[in-house]
Amino acid sequence: MDRWLTMLMVVLLGVTSAPALAQQSERVRHIEREIQILKKALEDQGRRIELLERAIQGPSQAVEPTAPTGAQNQPPSFSAYPWHDKNSWGRVKDGMSEAQVMSILGRPTSVNTVGGFKTIFYRGEVAGSGSVSGNVKLQDDRVWQVNKPVF
């Protein structure tokens, strides 16, 4: 009888601890996903810092061309951030690859990836427009939606 009681206790212990182990395993997977998201955010921040550092260093080294008469009040057409140009957004088309988008708009300020879907975000302050944001949605490295910023 003691033997059956011992066996029953072992089985009960195993049955009651299984959900706790499964829950702990799920927590570990959740934490691992969170770590991946944080790593990606850190990489994105590093890229943004690099862009800002280049922007700070760039103008002091650049030589301003003299503008023709009458064009002094015209804003320059080149921006350190190509995505700040409304015309650049018009060049992004469905079916383009991420590399093609980046060659037009430059590096995004952040990226969100879920499975085969990716959204690349462009957010920031634009002179004369304030805070703006736009994004490009891709599936399997092909553009399927462009949400242009409102300048």
Residue 31 has pLDDT above 50, yes or no: yes
Q: Which two tokens stand for residue 114?
A: 């879920």
Predicted local distance difference test score (pLDDT) of residue 58: 61
Domain 81-151 has CATH 3.30.1450.10: yes
Pick the residue with more confidence: 12 or 144? Answer: 144
Average pLDDT over residues 47-60: 73
pLDDT in tens, 56-110: 876 544 434 343 344 344 343 445 789 999 999 999 999 999 999 999 999 999 9
Exposure class string for 44-76: b at 16+ Cβ within 10 A, else e: beeebeebeeeeeeeeeeeeeeeeeeeeeeeee
